[in-house]
Every structure is written in structure tokens, then in C-alpha cells.
Amino acid sequence: MPSATFIDAIDPARLSAVLKTVRRFRNLKAAEVAARMPLAPRSFERFEAGEGRFDFTKVQRFAEVAEVDPYAILFAVLIGSPAFAVRAAQNGISPLILLALEDFDREAGDAIATLDAATILSVFREAFSSLNAEIRRRASLRPGERQPGVSDERNDAPLPAVDAKDED
């Protein structure tokens, strides 16, 4: 029996939901995305429906057209949160996570193998808990009050509602 691969972890229904959510968030029509990728409209429809074998190259082209991070699309599929891809487009969290992982790999090297799963999970939960605390702190600021460390006012704008409607 062949072993499972990363591609096996990509749920077609989740991929479809993420792609549709991102496309709608960017107010793009399916035909427009297909033309800009470029793909035949029917090929794009199959891709967006999650049909066929997973193709990261297509995800990358879609991400370029929709101006989102392709890794955020993958993370969104893997965690089952289509909205994550949209949220990550606002601040680029996915490449930052990967950059931190790259730094960790370079610094810790082979010693990474000595860490146990419970410790790793605990550290990540603590890091994300700290980010949640920062979100709550920023939410408590008075309107118009400057947020330290925020240089781009787009980051202060509320995220538009993300839904999963099926129409184009």
C-alpha cells in the first residue's frame, strides 16, 4: 500500500471553498480569473471545484491573480478555514511563519529531532496566545489612537465579511 503524501491531505472540497472565498473577497469573476491565469474557463471551473489532481502551480498562479499568498491558501485548506487565506492576505502571516521556521531550522539544525510533540505544541500555542493578546490589546485602543509598530494604515482597517455563497 503506497504511503500518504502531502497531496493526499488536500481535501478537494476545502480547496474549492478557499478558492471561492478568496476570489469573491477580491471581487473577481471566475471568467476573469481564468483569463488572467490563463486557463480555459471550464478548466478553471474544474480547478476551483477541487476536481482533478492537486496542482500547486495552479494555486500559485491563482494566488498571483488574487493577490494572496499561495501558502496561506494551503494553510487555509489544511486548517479548514477558508477565511484564513483572506485574513493572511492582509498581513502576510504565512510567509512570516515560514521565515521563522527557516530561521529555527538553520539555528537548531539536527537538534530539532530531540524535541517532543508536546513541547512543540505547547510553544506554538503559547506564541499564538501571545498574538491573541496583542489582538485584544489593539482592539481596546480608542478609535484613531495610533497602534505602536503599525506602519501601514491598511492593517487597521476591518476585514470585510467573508462568506461562502455559491454564486459567482
What integer pLDDT is reported at residue 116 of this predicted model?
97
Domain with 107, as residue range(s), is 94-142
Instruction: Give the residue with greater pLDDT, 158 vs 143.
Output: 143
Let me know if residue 137 belongs to a domain.
Answer: yes
Let me know if residue 132 belongs to a domain.
Answer: yes
Q: CA 126, CA 136: separation in Å to the nearest integer?
A: 15
Q: CA 121, CA 124: separation in Å to the nearest integer?
A: 5
* 78 and 115 belong to one structural domain: no
What integer pLDDT is reported at residue 155 of this predicted model?
44
Write down which residue in 91, 124, 150 finishes a domain: 91
Inform me whether the pLDDT recorded for 128 exceeds 60.
yes
Let me know if residue 147 belongs to a domain.
Answer: no
Q: CA 30, CA 19: separation in Å to the nearest integer?
A: 10
Inform me whether the pLDDT recorded for 124 exceeds 60.
yes
* 53 and 15 belong to one structural domain: yes
What count of other Cβ atoms lies within 10 Å of the Cβ of residue 115?
11
Q: Of 88, 73, 89, 81, nearest to 19 (Cα)?
A: 73
- State how many domains the chain has: 2
Mean pLDDT of 83-96: 92
Q: Of 74, 80, 127, 75, nearest to 104 (Cα)?
A: 127
Instruction: Band the pLDDT of 162: cuts 50, 70, 90.
Output: low
Inform me whether the pLDDT recorded for 90 exceeds 80.
yes
Q: What is the mean pLDDT of the chain?
A: 87
What are the pLDDT digits (tens) for 35-88?
A: 999 999 999 999 999 999 899 999 999 999 999 999 999 999 999 999 999 999
What count of other Cβ atoms lies within 10 Å of the Cβ of residue 21?
22
CATH code, domain carrying 37: 1.10.260.40
Mean pLDDT of 150-165: 49
* 61 and 112 belong to one structural domain: no
What integer pLDDT is reported at residue 156 of this predicted model?
46
Write down which residue in 71, 91, 111 finishes a domain: 91
Cβ(18)–Cβ(73) below 8 Å:
yes
Mean pLDDT of 75-103: 93
Let me know if residue 11 belongs to a domain.
Answer: yes
